[in-house]
Amino acid sequence: MRLAMVAGEASGDLLAGMLLGSLRVRWPGLQAAGIGGPRMADQGFSAWWPHERLAVRGYVEVLRHYREIAGIRNALAERLLAQRPAAFIGVDAPDFNLGLEARLKRAGIKTVHFICPSIWAWRGGRARKMAASADHVLCLFPFEPGLLRAHGVAASYVGHPLADAIPLVPPRAASRAALGLGAADTVVALLPGSRRSEIAYIAPAFLQAALCLQRARPGLRFLLPVAPGLRALLEPLVATQAPGLPLQWLDGQSHAALAACDVTLVASGTATLEAALFKRPMVIGYRMHPLSWQIMKRLRYQPWVGLPNILCRDFVVPERIQGACEPASLAAAALAWLDDPAACERLARRFDDLHHTLRRDTARCATDAIAQVLQA
């Protein structure tokens, strides 16, 4: 069995790595290649290009890298059309994958898209594009298949793999011990994103907010998990934006940081769902190029940006987006959680309900759906 896959960033690499583990159980001799990261490589995946080459967000940022990204997509398409894998699985990265999938599908190669683009939040017109691109869509959230079927797209709800991977009861004590933290320490986790553009736009505000928090509570401890390849970007920012901050650097280990922390400042994206599954109070922040934001906010359909709020249909955690993502406001929102243990408990119960809803043995469900596509 030969499959091709593309995962465009760290979160996609995580999801694809989980899926590959299950696919290898179904097809022990599986060969998989394309674009991916270290989690996929751990499952024997051959990365012809690293996933970091696609990890760009925002209209202006993508335009700067358009020629490079388009060149990669064309080269990959030509290679796959020559080799003709049994199926192509695009993991998230819809702006890259949907066009590639459409070209492969026209040539008779089965295509599966893993993660429904957030057509329920913005750019709903992509539902029509997906009908021409994907033979089947694997959906992480229970309301998505119905939306896709209304546009003639075959889809299955497979749950969210993070809900399977993250324990229902977070390993708080074990994570603190592993990170050298005491049971009485008050800990703030800083997660400013896994893309280079996110580090540039979001990390300064998060680091300055951490300084505000330190001044208000001098005993606080701070954790900064760093995605592979991004430490060189973050080190000068820490030196200039948060000198003297008692910061503990972590190579990866974002799950350990979330399990151990009392509150997190987190960039909007998959990390917010991870924080919710770890039952952590959070403040969601996000910034992007001003022009990208002007375009995006005109296309959004809902008042929420963060996944926990979208899934709960309520502002259960504060969001500080674009101009509101400034240090004093971020710090004040984080302190509000630290000062209200009862609110944290209520939030944890709500997140526990969400966790049970999303826990479906995603890898097995997705593998079953892919097997059906291959047999069709």
> Are the folds of 2-159+360-375 and 172-358 the same?
yes
Q: Which CATH superfamily is domain 172-358 in?
A: Glycogen Phosphorylase B; (3.40.50.2000)
| Spatial contact of 69 and 53, defined as CB atoms under 8 Å apart | yes
Q: What is the pLDDT of residue 283?
A: 98
Q: Which DSSP state fits 122?
A: B
- How sure is the predictor about 35, in pLDDT bands with cuts at 50, 70 and 90? very high
Mean pLDDT of the chain: 92
Q: What is the pLDDT of residue 31?
A: 97
Q: What is the pLDDT of residues 10-30, one digit of tens each?
A: 878 988 999 999 999 999 999
Residue 7, strand partner residues: 91
Window from 122-136, 167-181, 280-294 with minimum mean pLDDT:
122-136
Question: Average pLDDT, stretch 175-195?
Answer: 95
Q: What is the pLDDT of residues 160-181, one digit of tens each?
A: 988 998 999 999 999 999 999 9
Maximum CA extent, the chain? 62
Where do the domains of the chain lie? 2-159+360-375, 172-358
- By residue count, the chain amounts to 376
Q: What is the pLDDT of residue 188?
A: 98
Q: Measuring CA to CA, which residue among 92, 137, 129, 128 is closest to residue 110?
A: 137
Question: Average pLDDT, stretch 145-171?
Answer: 93
Question: Average pLDDT, stretch 123-141?
Answer: 88
Classify 2-159+360-375 by CATH class.
alpha beta
> For a pLDDT cut of 70, what percent of the chain falls above it?
93
- How sure is the predictor about 120, in pLDDT bands with cuts at 50, 70 and 90? low
> Any residues with CB less than 8 A from the CB of 374 and at least 6 apart, and which?
86, 87, 110
Q: What is the pLDDT of residues 205-231, one digit of tens each?
A: 999 999 999 999 999 999 999 988 899
Pairwise pLDDT comparison (363 vs 295), residue with the higher score: 363
Distance CA 21, CA 43 (A): 6
